[in-house]
Structure 1
Amino acid sequence: MKNITLLGINSKFVHTNLAIRYIKKMIEQVEGYNLTMVESSINNQLPNIIREVIESKPEILLVSTYIWNREFVFKIIVELKKINPNLKIYLGGPEVSYNAAEVMETYSEVDGIIEGEGEKIITNLLQKEEKDVLGLYYRDEKNKDDIKFNGHETPIENLDIIPFPYENWELMENKGKIFYYESTRGCPFRCSYCMSSIEKSVRSFSLPRVKRDLMTFLDAGVNLVKFVDRTFNLKKDHYIEVWKFLIENYRPNTTFHFEISADLFDDEVIEFLTTVPKELFQFEIGVQTINDRTMKLIRRKNDLEKLSKNVVAIKDNIHLHLDLIAGLPKEDFETFKSSFNYVYDLKPEMIQLGFLKILRGTEISGQIEEFDYKYMGFPPYEVISNDDITYEELLKLKDVEEVLDFYYNSGDFIKSVDYLINNFYSSPFEFYLDLADFYEEKDHFKVSHKKLAIFNFLVDFYNEKKFGDGERKTRFIEYLKFDYINLGKPGKYPEWFISSKDRDHYHEVVEKLVEESKFKNNRQGFKNTEMEEFDIDIFTGERKKTKLLFIYEGKETKIQEC
Structure 2
Amino acid sequence: MTRIVLGTLNARYIHTAFGLRYLYANMGDLQPDTRILEFGIQQRPIDIAEQLLQQQPLIIGLGVYIWNVAEISAIVAILKQVAPEIRVILGGPEVSHPPDLPDVANLADYIITGHGEISFPRLCGQILSGQAPEQKIVSGETVTLDALATPYPYYTDTDLKQRIVYVEASRGCPFKCEFCLSSLDTTAKPFALPDFLRQMDNLYQRGARNFKFIDRTFNLKVDNSVAILEFFLRKMTDDLYLHFEVIPDNLPDRLKQVIQQFPAGSLQFEVGVQSFDPVIQQRISRKQDNDKTQANLGWLRQHSNAHIHADLIAGLPGDTLEGFGRGFDRLVGLNPQEIQVGILKRLRGAPINRHNDSYRMRYDPNPPYSILSTGDISFADMQRINRFARYWDLIGNSGRFGATLPIILADQPFARFLQLSDALYAAGGSTWKIALKRLFELLYTGMTNTLQIPAATVKQALESDFARSGEKGRPEFLAVKEQPLAKRGMANKRQRLLNPA
The answer, yes or no, to whether TM exceeds 0.5 is yes
Partner residue of 1:76?
A: 75
State the partner residue of 2:499. Answer: none
CA distance 1:79–1:139, shift in 2 (3 Å): farther
Larger RCO, structure (CA 8 Å, separation 6 or more): 2
The alpha-carbon deviation at position 301 of structure 1 amounts to 2.2
Where do 5+ consecutive residues of structure 1 fail to align?
141-146, 500-562
Q: 2:118 aligns with which of 117, 120, 134?
A: 120
1:157: which partner in 2?
A: 144
What RMSD, in angstroms, separates the aligned Cα atoms of the two structures? Answer: 2.6
Aligned to 2:62: 63
- Contact map agreement 2:345 2:371 (CA 8 A) in 1: yes
Equivalence for 2:230: 244
Distance of 1:411 and 1:311 partners within structure 2: 19
- The 5 A counterparts of 1:251-290 are 251-290=237-276
Maintained 8 Å contact 1:2/1:32: no
Inter-CA distance 126–431: structure 2 relative to 1 (3 Å threshold): same
Give 3-state SS (helix, strand or coil) of 1:119's partner: coil
**Structure 1 position 495, deviation (Å):** 4.5
* Conserved? CA contact 2:160–2:207, under 8 Å: no
Give the distance between the partners of 1:465 and 1:153, measured in 2 at CA. Answer: 55
Q: Does the aligned pair in 2 maintain the 1:247–1:277 contact within 8 Å?
A: no
Q: Deviations over 1:304-358 (max 9, x none)?
A: 2221221122235011100011110111111000111111111211111111112
* Residue 344 (structure 1) aligns with: 332
Structure 1 position 155, deviation (Å) = 2.1
2: distance between equivalents of 1:493 and 1:440?
22
- Does the residue aligned with 2:356 lie in a helix, a strand or coil? coil
Matched, 1:396 2:396: no
Change over 3 Å in CA distance of 1:261–1:449 after alignment to 2: same
Name the structure 2 match of 1:485. Answer: 467
Partners of 1:282 and 1:354 in 2: how far apart? Answer: 18
C-alpha spacing 1:394/1:249, structure 2 compared with 1 (3 Å): same
Question: In 1, are the aligned partners of 2:275 and 2:312 still within 8 Å (CA)?
Answer: yes
Contact preservation (8 Å) 2:226, 2:258: no
- Tell me, yes or no, if structure 1 residue 438 matches structure 2 residue 419: no
Q: CA deviation at 1:379?
A: 1.6
Deviation at 1:260, TM superposition (A): 0.6
Amino acid at match of 2:169: S
Which residue is equivalent to 2:23?
23
Cα distance in 1 for residues equivalent to 2:19 and 2:404: 44
Distance (whole Å) between structure 2 residues aligned to residue 449 and residue 364 of structure 1:
35
Q: Does 1:320 align with 2:308?
A: yes
The answer as to whether partners of 1:183 and 1:229 remain within 8 angstroms in 2 is yes
Q: Is the 8 A contact 2:177 2:284 kept in 1?
A: yes
2:105 & 2:223 partners in 1: Cα distance?
A: 47
Residue type of the partner of 2:255?
V
More off after superposition, 450-459 vs 474-483:
474-483
Q: Superposed, which structure 2 residues align to 1:96-115 within 5 Å? A: 96-99=95-98, 107-115=105-113
CA contact (8 A) 2:16 2:159 kept: no
> Displacement of 1:212 after TM fit?
2.0
Which residue of the other structure, out of 290, 294, 309, is the alignment partner of 1:308? 294
Matched AA of 2:21: R
1:460 paired to 2:448: no
| Structure-2 separation of matches of 1:411 and 1:460 | 20
Structure 1 residues 177 and 148: alpha-carbon distance in aligned structure 2, compared to 1, 3 A threshold: closer
SS at match of 2:327: helix
CA deviation profile, 1:55-102 (whole Å, cap 9, x unmatched): 011001111111111121122122212222221111111101102695
Give the aligned residue type for 1:61. I
Indicate whether 1:51 and 2:37 are aligned.
no
Deviates more, 1:47-56 or 1:379-388: 379-388
Contact 1:274 1:313 in 2 (8 A): no
User: Residue 31 of structure 1: CA displacement?
Assistant: 4.7
In structure 2, the CA distance between the partners of 1:475 and 1:379, relative to structure 1 (3 Å rule), is closer
User: Which residue, out of 291, 294, 308, partners 2:280?
Assistant: 294
Q: Does the 8 Å contact 1:227/1:258 carry over to 2?
A: yes
Change (3 A) 1:349 1:277: same
Offset of residue 30 of structure 1: 1.4
Cα offset, 1:154, TM superposition: 4.7
Give the conservation status (yes or no) of the 8 Å contact 1:7–1:61.
yes
Name the % identity. 27
* CA pair 103-461 structure 1, distance change in 2 beyond 3 A: closer
**Aligned residues, how many?**
478
Letter in 2 for 1:82: Q
Q: Counterpart of 2:91 in structure 1: which amino acid?
A: G
Q: Can you list the C-alpha shifts for 1:163-213, whole angstroms capped at 9, x where unaligned?
A: 233436x23465232222211111000011111111122122111222122
Partner of 2:10: 10
TM-score, length basis structure 2: 0.89
Please point out which of 460, 476, 484 is paired with 2:458: 476
Deviates more, 1:302-311 or 1:241-250: 302-311
